[in-house]
Amino acid sequence: MSSSLSLHDVTAAPTERRKTLVAHTTTVASLDARTRDAAFALFAHAYENVSRERFERDLAGKQHVILLRDGESGALRGFSTVCVRDVVTTGGTMTVVFSGDTVIDRAYWGQKQLQLAFARLMVSLKLRAPLRPLSWFLLSKGYRTYLLLANAFPHSVPRAGVPDDVRLRGVLDDLATERFGAQYDRTAGVVRYDDPHERVREGLAPVTAAVLANPHVRFFVKRNPEHAAGVELACLADVRLVDLARAILRFVTVGALRRLRDPRSVGR
């Protein structure tokens, strides 16, 4: 289903203590009713046309969930669902990670705890079977989600400035067709749902002239011009340990620099 990770950095007021997130990865089966209710409330706040039934169905189809809680209160402020399965392709067996519903409370945008938790999960999967290919299957109706894949994984499709890798494109088309049937447009590489689906609420992550300065954003908008209506761009990344290591180093560095620039962090 939908997946919209928010990366915008919101600066707190001078007198306000910076909000921090703590990530924890657990199984979907372990979630209690209170956590499920809180997750759906976050989801409904960020998206229009939400359905509790569809939300629960998406959740039931995943094994893992990354929970993001406020570092002080413990209140749920974000989550991301993850499905992991082995797939047999013409080139052999590969492990595919599929990201489902994802949202972060706007007050916590810009933090990297979700990305770090997701990268750690990917590393653990890769280390279990180092020689088995590992791929990330992502649907994106927003440019922020697409940037996660484009910035971290250079071996991915579709991608600005380079033709599609034939092997990855073939695997992506097969995966998307298997999962979405005729709703997947192989020519355009997008999923158009038969029934009204979630779409990002207007004004939450607008495509401005400033963000269009990024070539990856321009590419996303060109490849998925119907994104505002809830149409999702299908993407697939070849996940390599070197890419994961580079991404983790970048996330950790960004977090450290944020703390150094924040005078309120002194003495914590």
The 3-class SS string of 59-99 reads HHCCCEEEEEEECCCCCEEEEEEEEEEEEEECCEEEEEEEE
pLDDT value for 228: 85
| % of residues, the chain, pLDDT over 90 | 61
* Coil, strand or helix at 49: coil
pTM: 0.82
Give the mean pLDDT of 231-260. 82
Q: What is the pLDDT of residues 198-212, one digit of tens each?
A: 777 776 667 888 889
The pLDDT-based confidence of 264 (bands split at 50, 70, 90) is very low
Return d(Cα 145, Cα 6) in angstroms, integer: 7
The pLDDT-based confidence of 71 (bands split at 50, 70, 90) is very high
Q: What is the pLDDT of residues 132-155, one digit of tens each?
A: 999 999 999 888 889 989 988 999
Give the pairing type, strands 92-104 and 134-140: parallel
Q: Give the domains, in start order, of the chain with CATH numbers.
A: 21-261 (3.40.630.30)
Q: For all residues of the chain together, what is the average pLDDT? A: 86
